[in-house]
Amino acid sequence: MPVYLDSFSLPVDREEKMIEVRMRENGGDFGYIDNVYPCCIFGEKGLYDLRFARMTVFYGGNGSGKSTLLNLIAEKLKLARVSPFNSSELFELYVLNCEFTVGDDDEGEPYEIPMGSRIITSDDVFDYMLAVRANNDEIGKALERGKKAYAELKFGGTVQLNGMDDYEALRLQVQARSKTLSRRKFLRRHVGAEAKLFSNGETALRFFEEKLKYDTLYLLDEPENSMAPKMQLELAERLEELARYCGCQFIIATHSPFLLSLSGAKVYDLDSKPVAVKNWWELENSRIYFDFFDRHRRLFEKDEE
């Protein structure tokens, strides 16, 4: 069970120096910075270093720094990404001052960050769903045009071959009039087939099933978005399989109790000061769920009678 990324250090003790340097670059003694992000987030939380397991989870409310940590790690490791992220004039300098170490394999040799490692955000999943629907819309329009063209080729006058310019039309007509090629097969061959549509949650789950490969490091930013609880559980089971049997390492930012409870996961509570590693059942989100269902326990017990 490889741990490709072993540790990551934040330059919290150098933030003031970085701000001073950038202010001078912006105008000498009168220089200023509009936005010091990502400085001044982690120092007050006492977060300087992170140590990773094969599955590590960042938990915390909005603004706690979950996504910022993922983006800092992704940029430092130069991981592939699709969606843009919140940046600032200090972000690149901050990344430059971050440090990391890799784990060792069974023979004591240091790992390399695997090729194909990437950060995947909820925006990537939403963009994928929108792309599928847009593709289907285009194919749907092309199908209507294709049906008209098919009818003209099959039942209209025979195309006359007067030169090479007529060859393609004649070839299509021969196919349209072939007894072995139905209209459906003709349209699929020349127009394409619509991707099968599922619910947003099902499409998101299929996205991860297609994208997650073996022996790879993945940073996942709130992957549970748009998934119902049942599908979040299915995603959690898949992540556990990939980490346990398929050589993957995951670093995940999430609110979901189903992902917080990943077997063997190391959970950082970014809401606590200082930031601490906790059991998933000790976290506020998990307690809120527990307290809610515990208040209504009699309703569930009544159903079992």
Judge contact between 4 and 113, C-beta under 8 A. yes
Report pLDDT for 191. 55
What is the percent of the chain with per-residue pLDDT over 90, rounded to a whole number?
55
Judge contact between 250 and 220, C-beta under 8 A. yes
Q: How far apart are CA 29 and CA 143, in angstroms?
A: 66
Neighbouring residues of 265: CB distance < 8 A, sequence distance ≥ 6: 53, 55, 56, 57, 252, 280
**Tally of CB atoms within 10 A around 210:** 9
Report pLDDT for 303. 59
Judge contact between 261 and 236, C-beta under 8 A. yes
**Token digits for 36?**
């010091």
* C-alpha R_g of the chain: 27
Query: At residue 71, does pLDDT exceed 90?
Result: yes
> Please, what is the Cα angle at 229 between 226 and 235, to 5 degrees?
75
* Cross-sheet strand order for the sheet of 49-51: 49-51, 5-9, 99-102
Complete DSSP assignment for 201-232:
HHHHHHHHHHH--SS-EEEEESTTTT--HHHH
Helices vs. strands in the chain: H and E counts, helices first? 11, 9
**Token digits for 47?**
């977060």
**Token digits for 104?**
């060792």
Query: pLDDT for 172-199, tens place per residue?
Result: 655 666 655 666 665 565 555 544 556 7
pLDDT band at 87 (very low <50, low <70, confident <90, very high): confident
Report pLDDT for 131. 74
User: How would you class 113 by CB atoms within 10 Å of its CB: exposed for 0-12, middle for 13-18, buried for 19 or more?
Assistant: middle
How far is the CA of 254 from the CAs of 115, 239, 278, in angstroms?
25, 14, 14
Q: Which domains does the chain have, with CATH numbers?
A: 5-125+215-304 (3.40.50), 126-190 (no CATH)
- CA torsion through residues 18, 23, 24, 29, sign: negative
Query: At residue 243, does pLDDT exceed 80?
Result: yes
